[in-house]
Amino acid sequence: MKIKVVNTANQAKDIDFDGHIAVVIDVLRATSVITTALENGANSVIPVETVEEAQSLYAASDPKKTLRGGERHAVKIEGFDLGNSPLEYKPKTVESKDVILTTTNGTQAIQSVKSAAKIVLACLRNAAAVAEILIREDKDVVIVCAGTEGNFSLDDGLCAGYLLHLLKEKAAIETDDYGILLERFYRHSAERLMDSLSDCFHVKRLKVLGFSDDIMFCLQANSSRCVPVEQQGRITRLR
Ligand code: MLT
């Protein structure tokens, strides 16, 4: 299995995904939010790029069955039902609902891999479950680290490294130099995930905004078996 690692959603726009599985990672916080929403019973998550798109899709939906979620600059969008904190996506809030979600980088990254044979969403919480799916499918993979405000984000790199580490334990994989670097970074950090991200721009920003509990939650590796997959504009649970 060949695995390429791409460091931002922007860079993904130049990649040929034909025949590949794309794995999109936005640990803080979009893919952690999506995994949690589906695990807690949401019917689906619909990723859109702009606030306007989210509003017009909502206007055409049944308001009793639909929620609007997302952020700009990590803060809840005015008038939306939910922000981008996974802790908001509780069973009683999301059960049987479709969530229209727009985030600064995560949902853009999902749009940028549309031509892939399959689109899987990963975060630290579901990394082991995602690794099992990739081994079962046995196709070449492109891991897309969504990034933050257009730049590479270390939380995504840590998760990419962890995923590579899990795959390496169970399958014959070949990755690029960036993948080698990130797998080594994960191994170096495995016993102290939080410390390894302490200087990360987005971690520092989320702390200042009062989202420390979100960071703790998103760093709980292998706490979910839920694997979200995107198909024709809608994200549902593969398992
Ligand atoms: C994003 O998609 O840019 C992130 O999920 C931002 C955030 O943590 O709110």
- Which of the listed residues 31, 105, 125, 151 should we mutate to test ligand 1's pocket, taking the one with most ligand atoms within 8 A of CB? 105
Residue 239 has pLDDT above 80, yes or no: no
Q: Which CATH architecture has domain 2-231?
A: Alpha-Beta Complex (3.90)
Question: What are the pLDDT digits (tens) for 75-85?
Answer: 999 999 999 99
| pLDDT average, residue stretch 4-15 | 93
Q: How far is the CA of 171 from the centre of ligand 1 (A)?
A: 31
> 122, 134, 139: which is closest to 1 by C-alpha?
139
Q: 47 CA to middle of ligand 1, Å? A: 13
Residue 55 tokens read as 């509003």
Neighbours of 60 (CB within 10 A): 7
List the structure tokens of 63. 């308001």
Q: Which atom of ligand 1 is nearest to the CA of 211?
A: 8
- Considering the chain, what percentage of its residues have pLDDT values greater than 70? 100
pLDDT tier at 149, thresholds 50, 70, 90: confident
Would the CB of 7 count as within 6 Å of ligand 1? no
pLDDT band for 32, please (50, 70, 90 cuts): very high
